[in-house]
Structure formats: structure tokens, C-alpha cells
């Protein structure tokens, strides 16, 4: 029986790349996003490649919607093997300019969203006595970035949660790990480039160019670069790894 995976925020960007990679690996992929048009588009494309997929529009920060998503998956496939809590947003601002509601909004999606998806998945996986929970962190989970203070704080939180949850769920046969991308050429980075530009007095495109100089491997990352590592975390090859937040960043952060 094929493994079943949920990928959140899979309507575009890194999540979309992960959905295609896991489908190629032979998993049945449930595509989640808050954007109905994109989520249906990705699901249609996966179907046309022969994947037994399903599209679920849900907001990862909404407890009822997350639990309903996991219930729907278990109803259709009878199990849930892999949860990829990928959905996230960025907010570019000096910490002293950020409002409390902006702070709450980014934490709602990047942290509460990961917590809810992991919790709902774990309750099902405990019954099965196996499962893989894979969270999206970032290089910003290992090193705080200026103008991305709240974002960095959410990703440090994901890293801490990943470690603690791994300890709680290890005895139930469930592994919990995180992937930490660097600079991936997605809509999120378009936004970061546009919003950081005025602070650094740089025109559009130049922030990405400047930050790309930090990349040891000399090129901007693609969603596929991330997806191949998530493929490993979703496979039995990673069965002895848990509690890790691993950098897959072309060598931006080394420690």
C-alpha cells in the first residue's frame, strides 16, 4: 500500500516542489493550501501524472480546518504516514516598526500552524505506531536575520518544537525533523527582495543578488533542491534520524 503524505502550503513554491517529488517517489500526496485555485491546479497536474492525490483547502492556523483535513485524509486513505508542515509566511520590517498584530499573524501561521498540523498528525500516527513529521524551518532558525526578526523568531521556535516533539513521539515510532532552506527563488523571496530594497536603498532584484553572495555554492536554491532532502526525510532511509533541523542551504550558514 502506498504511503500517504500531506504537504501544507503546496499551492506554489517549495511546497509545490515537495508535492511533485513525493508523488514521483510513489507516495499518495494530499495537497493543502489556503489558495484554492493553486491547490486545485497542483492536484490536477499530479493527477495527470497518475498520482492518487487529493486537494484540501485549509488554513493551517485554524484548528478546526486542520483537524478536518487530517480526518478527511484518514477517511479516504485509511492512514497518514507523512506530514510536511511547510506553509509559512515572511514579514520584512525593522523589529521596532512591527506591530503586535503583524507579530501575531506570522506566529499564527509559522508556529501555531506547525503545532496544529503536527498535533493532528501525531494523534493519528500514535494509533498506527509509525509516521514521519517534517517541519519547515529555515537558515533563519539557526541565525537571526535583520529585518526578519519575527520570521527568525518563528523559525527558531519551529526548531525547538521539533526537538521537543521528537522526544515525546520517539517511543511511539514517530520521527520529527525539520528542513532549513536558504535562499529559494519563490514568491516569498520576491516579496523579501521588494520589501528589503527600500531599507538598503537597492532597486528590485538587487537584494536577492546581494544576499546570494552569501551562498557558498554560488547559485539561488530551487524548490527541487529542498524537495530531494524532504524525500529522504519521508523515506525509511531516515528512520534513525529524529529531532534534527538540517540546513539545506548551499552553505550559507555553517556551524
Ligand X SMILES: NC(=O)c1ccc[n+]([C@@H]2O[C@H](COP(=O)([O-])OP(=O)(O)OC[C@H]3O[C@@H](n4cnc5c(N)ncnc54)[C@H](O)[C@@H]3O)[C@@H](O)[C@H]2O)c1
Cβ distance to ligand X smaller for residue 9 or 197: 9
State the alpha helices, DSSP H only, in the chain.
13-24, 36-48, 63-77, 100-107, 113-128, 149-169, 187-200, 206-212, 223-234
Is the Cβ–Cβ distance between 118 and 161 less than 8 Å?
yes
Q: Does 46 bind ligand X (CB under 6 A)?
A: no
What is the footprint of ligand X within residues 115-174 (CB under 6 A)? 136, 138
Draw the binding track, 167-206, toward ligand X (x: CB under 6 A; -: no contact): --------------x-xx-xxxx-----------------
Q: Does 51 bind ligand X (CB under 6 A)?
A: no
Could you tell me the smallest distance in angstroms from the CB atom of residue 240 to ligand X?
25
Q: Is residue 209 flagged as an active site residue? A: no
Q: Is residue 132 flagged as an active site residue? A: no
Tell me how far apart the alpha carbons of residues 167 and 164 are, in angstroms, rounded to a whole number: 5
**Main-chain dihedrals φ then ψ at residue 220, nearest 5 degrees:** -70, 145
Handedness of CA 39, 221, 134, 131 (dihedral sign): positive
Instruction: Give residues in contact with ligand X (CB under 6 A).
Output: 8-9, 11-15, 33-35, 38, 59-61, 86-89, 109, 113, 136, 138, 181, 183-184, 186-189
Enumerate the active-site residues: 151, 155
Amino acid at each position: 500500500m502506498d504511503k500517504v503524505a500531506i504537504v501544507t502550503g503546496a499551492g506554489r513554491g517549495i511546497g509545490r516542489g515537495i508535492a511533485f517529488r513525493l508523488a514521483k517517489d510513489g507516495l499518495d500526496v494530499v495537497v493543502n493550501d489556503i489558495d484554492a485555485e493553486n491547490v486545485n491546479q497542483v492536484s490536477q497536474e499530479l493527477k495527470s501524472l497518475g498520482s492518487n492525490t487529493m486537494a484540501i483547502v485549509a488554513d493551517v492556523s485554524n484548528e478546526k480546518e486542520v483537524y478536518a483535513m487530517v480526518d478527511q485524509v484518514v477517511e479516504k486513505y485509511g492512514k497518514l504516514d507523512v506530514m510536511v508542515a511547510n506553509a509559512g509566511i515572511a514579514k520584512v520590517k525593522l523589529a521596532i516598526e512591527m506591530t503586535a498584530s503583524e507579530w501575531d499573524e506570522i506566529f499564527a501561521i509559522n508556529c501555531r500552524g506547525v503545532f496544529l498540523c503536527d498535533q493532528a498528525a501525531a494523534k493519528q500516527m500514535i494509533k498506527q505506531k509509525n509516521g514521519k513529521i517534517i517541519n519547515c524551518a529555515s537558515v533563519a532558525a539557526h541565525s537571526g536575520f535583520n529585518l526578519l526578526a519575527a520570521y527568525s523568531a518563528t523559525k527558531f521556535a519551529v526548531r525547538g518544537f521539533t526537538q521537543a516533539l521528537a522526544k515525546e513521539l520517539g517511543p511511539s515510532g514517530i520521527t520529527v525533523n525539520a528542513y532549513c532552506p536558504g535562499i529559494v527563488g519563490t514568491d516569498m523571496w520576491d516579496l523579501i527582495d521588494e520589501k528589503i530594497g527600500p531599507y538598503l536603498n537597492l532597486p528590485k532584484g538587487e537584494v536577492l543578488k546581494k544576499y546570494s553572495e552569501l551562498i557558498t555554492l554560488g547559485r539561488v536554491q530551487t524548490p527541487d533542491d529542498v524537495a530531494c532532502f524532504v524525500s529522504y526525510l519521508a523515506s525509511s532511509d531516515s528512520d534513525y534520524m529524529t529531532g534534527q533541523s538540517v540546513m539545506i542551504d548551499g552553505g550559507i550558514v555553517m556551524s
